Amino acid sequence: MYRIWITEDLDEIGIEWLREKGVEVEYSRPTYEELLERVKEFDALIVRTNTRVTEEVIARGVPRLKVVGRAGVGFDNIDTDAATRYGVLVLNAPYGYMISTAELTIGLMLALLRKIPKADLYMKNEQWKKRELLGAELYGKVLGIIGVGRIGRQVAIRANAFGMRVLGYDPYIRQEDVDKYGVKLLSSLEELLPQVDILTLHVPLTEETKYMISERELRLMKKGAFIINCSRGKVIKSSALYKAIVEGQIAGAALDVHESEPPSDWSLIKLPQVIATPHIGSATYEAQQKVALEVVEEIWMALQGGPVRSSINMPSLPPEVYAYLKPYLYLSEKMGQFAGQWIRKPVDEVRLTYIGDVVDLPYSLITAAFIKGILDPVLGEPVNYINAVCMAKERGISVTENVGGQGGEFTNLVRVEIRVGKEYYEIAGTLIGRNIPKIVEIDGFRVDVEPKGNIILTRHIDRPGMIGKIGTILGERNINIANMYVGRKEVRGEAVMTLCVDEPVPQEVLDGIRSIEGFERVDFISL
Ligand code: NAD
């Protein structure tokens, strides 16, 4: 039975969901010392921002601890690098807040342009001041969205419904990604800013986005434009915005997020042209419930070994992509196991080349699967898709990936070159009909092996009688040959033979084959 420790607030709906799945849930707020002491009793942790999931916590938690879920978005409190090294998946719940934050953005936009907070204040003071409350419509205005991700796209849908023209700036996405949200992407801030009546920001806070709206950008904007910020406070330089509003360059701003929270300097917020809220983008019942359900469902999925949507230290995969990827992961891991048992020496370099359809998939996971196949059998600690490449690096194995090249008769091919000192080994595999895995090349020789069961691999001289001799030795020991393939580049030259056998092959039988003249190398591989 899985045990999950929820160490901070989580909506009851998420806890119920887990209990219905038969999970044992502990819901308490441990001190750091208690966390260290008891983390090893749990398969997963669910935290918010106050639980410090340090390397020490993760190290104490493994091998039982497999997942850390953040009920929310930011994860500064989780040592994700350490989690990666220890093979612990870290995931978050970034979709639950999306609608609430987009709705608040639209709410602030309407409030700002229609001066709703001021109107309400007049009314509360028993003042009937209609003249001062002349506002503006959203209809027909140009909205500029910086950061057209989850929330930016939801804002776009709603802005389109209001009859606004929606422009966007986001250098990390393509126009096709946002066509259906009615956003026209522009290639620079310089192009976007002079065109917009209202600017709204939906970017994460990064080195690049910190103060991305400062004096220069505010000057580039249309005189009398408005600004909304429901993303992170530090993406706008408050002092510059203050000045631009006082000077009349910017007509007003609505801010849910602030440079410091709570603000240390309230002067911007106190301007009559500014309306402000205390970071309440996600403060709705629905968002809290959605986040709780999102994080528990993701953790459950991860514990079952299924695809997760919002992993932080492993690429997240939509189910349809995972369905295509899964047989490649199997193939690649088997190829890695094959290579490990074949080579049996410390590897210096692994070079993977992806050819054909496979290049459209997140192939870094296929790389990880290969490394897992090689390392898992030889390391005491568990190797998984998350930590595989990291562990290879720690062992001095250089891992590189290339795309493209000749696949010959195959529509997809994963070819791996492995260097051990000055020796090179090569293995290639493919999927026949999307999900039948085959090893199809060994050291450049064409073979046809299903990567499972017991396989004898030989390197020999192609001459009459070789197959007969090996068959006799195996027959004498009652070892049944299920399948055989001889790959050669020229007649009577060097050849490779793969023999799939129904029984394990004892050492003396392999030695017997090795003693036959013309057999240069004989390996036994069990997958
Ligand atoms: P997201 O990751 O889905 O989208 C962010 C987008 O910004 C991405 O498309 C990315 O390509 C783009 N981007 C990154 N750097 C950029 C740059 N330099 N210039 C232009 N675009 C850039 O994130 P999201 O879930 O939509 O969240 C957006 C922001 O909203 C985050 O900062 C998040 O912390 C914040 N947020 C605030 C609240 C709130 O309570 N106010 C709630 C939830 C999220």
Residue carrying the six token digits 């009546």: 197
Nearest atom in ligand 1 to 172's CA: 11
DSSP one-letter string for 191-206: HHGGG-SEEEE-----
- The full set of domain ranges for the chain reads 3-96+287-316, 98-276, 329-526
| Chain centroid to CA 451 | 28
Q: How far is the CA of 148 from the centre of ligand 1 (A)?
A: 8
- Determine the residue of 76, 103, 148, 170 to mutate for testing ligand 1's pocket, defined as the one with the most ligand atoms within 8 A of the Cβ atom: 170
Residue of 379, 314, 326, 290 lying closest to 87 (CA atoms)? 314
Nearest atom in ligand 1 to 95's CA: 25
Cα pseudo-dihedral 194, 198, 201, 207, rounded to 10? 30
- Determine the residue of 101, 146, 175, 261 to mutate for testing ligand 1's pocket, defined as the one with the most ligand atoms within 8 A of the Cβ atom: 101
- Asked whether 62 and 88 are in contact (CB, 8 A), the reply is yes
pLDDT in tens, 207-249: 889 999 999 999 999 999 999 999 999 999 999 999 999 999 9
DSSP one-letter string for 14-40: HHHHHHHTT-EEEE----HHHHHHHGG
Ligand 1 site: residues with CB under 6 angstroms?
73, 94, 97, 101, 146-152, 169-173, 202-206, 208-209, 230-232, 256-257, 279, 281-282
Q: How far is the CA of 505 from the centre of ligand 1 (A)?
A: 58
Mean pLDDT of 443-455: 96
Class of domain 3-96+287-316 as given by CATH = alpha beta
Antiparallel, parallel or unpaired: β 481-488 and 436-442: unpaired
What's the rounded Cα separation, in Å, for the pair 284 and 98?
Answer: 11
Angle of the 507-514 helix axis to the 466-476 helix axis, nearest 10: 160
> Ligand 1, atom 10: nearest CA belongs to which residue?
147
pLDDT at residue 243, rounded to an integer: 98
Cα pseudo-dihedral 283, 287, 293, 294, rounded to 10? -110
What mean pLDDT, rounded, does the chain reach? 93
The question of whether 34 is a catalytic residue gets the answer no
Q: How open is the CA angle 138-142-143, to the nearest 5 degrees? A: 85
Q: Which CATH number fits domain 98-276: 3.40.50.300, 3.20.20.100, 3.20.20.150, 3.40.50.720?
A: 3.40.50.720
Check for a shared fold between 3-96+287-316 and 329-526: no
pLDDT in tens, 81-120: 788 788 899 998 988 999 999 999 999 999 999 999 999 9
Environment class of 211 (CB within 10 Å of its CB; exposed 0-12, middle 13-18, buried 19+) = middle
More confident residue, 269 or 85: 269
Which residue of the set 132, 261, 394, 520 is catalytic? 261
DSSP state of 213: B
pLDDT at residue 380, rounded to an integer: 57
Q: How far is the CA of 68 from the centre of ligand 1 (A)?
A: 22
- Asked whether 196 and 225 are in contact (CB, 8 A), the reply is yes
What's the rounded Cα separation, in Å, for the pair 376 and 339?
Answer: 12
- Asked whether 398 and 350 are in contact (CB, 8 A), the reply is yes
pLDDT in tens, 16-28: 999 999 999 999 9
Q: How far is the CA of 416 from the centre of ligand 1 (A)?
A: 38
The question of whether 258 is a catalytic residue gets the answer no
Mean pLDDT of 145-172: 95
pLDDT beyond 90 at 490: no
Nearest atom in ligand 1 to 281's CA: 40
The question of whether 450 is a catalytic residue gets the answer no
Nearest atom in ligand 1 to 232's CA: 32
Q: How far is the CA of 188 from the centre of ligand 1 (A)?
A: 17
Residue 517: HSE in the Cβ half-sphere, 13 Å Cα cutoff: 3
> Ligand 1, atom 31: nearest CA belongs to which residue?
204
How many Å is the Cα radius of gyration of the chain? 30
> Ligand 1, atom 28: nearest CA belongs to which residue?
202
Q: How far is the CA of 66 from the centre of ligand 1 (A)?
A: 28
Bridge partners, 459 (sequence order): 496, 521
pLDDT at residue 4, rounded to an integer: 98
Which residue of the set 38, 52, 60, 279 is catalytic? 279
Which residue of the set 153, 202, 232, 309 is catalytic? 232
Instruction: Specify the range with the lowest mean pLDDT, choosing from 179-193, 302-316, 415-429.
Output: 302-316
> Ligand 1, atom 32: nearest CA belongs to which residue?
204
Residue type, 494: E
- Determine the residue of 92, 104, 183, 202 to mutate for testing ligand 1's pocket, defined as the one with the most ligand atoms within 8 A of the Cβ atom: 202
- Asked whether 115 and 320 are in contact (CB, 8 A), the reply is no
User: How many other C-beta atoms can be found within 10 angstroms of the C-beta atom of residue 20?
Assistant: 8
pLDDT in tens, 351-409: 999 999 999 998 999 999 999 899 887 775 567 777 788 788 878 899 999 998 887 88
481-488 sheet: strands from edge to edge: 481-488, 494-501, 454-461, 519-526
What's the rounded Cα separation, in Å, for the pair 325 and 365?
Answer: 9
Class of domain 329-526 as given by CATH = alpha beta
DSSP one-letter string for 397-448: -EEEEEE----TT-SEEEEEEEEETTEEEEEEEEEETTTEEEEEEETTEEEE
- State what percent of residues in the chain have pLDDT above 70: 98
pLDDT beyond 80 at 308: no
Q: How far is the CA of 282 from the centre of ligand 1 (A)?
A: 14
Q: How far is the CA of 151 from the centre of ligand 1 (A)?
A: 7
What's the rounded Cα separation, in Å, for the pair 235 and 258?
Answer: 9
> Ligand 1, atom 36: nearest CA belongs to which residue?
231
Instruction: Specify the range with the lowest mean pLDDT, choosing from 55-64, 175-184, 305-314, 428-437.
Output: 305-314
> Ligand 1, atom 11: nearest CA belongs to which residue?
172
